[in-house]
Structure 1
């Protein structure tokens, strides 16, 4: 049963990642990977919300499997982030690569903490 929850979340998360990445990137005339940054930060926010909800007793293990492992596992992408950062470096855009790495870590952590805080405000 648990694996079905993970698959169901991934069935939504994978196309959502692709469509969001394409939509965000289409709005920017830049080599900076805005789409990947957007899906990764969004996934961090969702995981923060889910973690806070679970801590407050508002989300059980089934929801964690569905949304945390399935949806966010397919939505977020560390491999694409790494590849795009490497590609920027190889193309001579070292500043973009450094900004991408720093922004991904800082914004991702900020989104996760914001999600935990928001969940605490909602379910405390």
Structure 2
């Protein structure tokens, strides 16, 4: 498993844990945004903004973008660009070339840790992982 994807997922899990704890949310938080809690605001030391199919979170200058709309049950969806920007901003991660990062993500798809989002049986360039 690569350090970058684990750090990315843990960042999201910590944010969603704080959101769930504060607002007593169950289920997909994207579906609850704007209903059970504000679409944008602050929870703990995280600023957040739900938009379209996704969410932008910020903590200590680190920005994380991800998609969460429930298209097929997978919780976290992201593009190579979103992950690369997270890595670039994160002070404990070393920036990588897009091609190297793409190879690592492809390997994680082969290992079935990640999958590619399919819409109408057409594989997209969006990666996804179930949030556990």
Q: What is the TM-score when the length of structure 1 is the normalising length? A: 0.36
Higher strand share goes to which structure? 2
Q: What is the TM-score when the length of structure 2 is the normalising length? A: 0.34
Q: Which structure: larger Rg?
A: 1
Higher helix share goes to which structure? 1
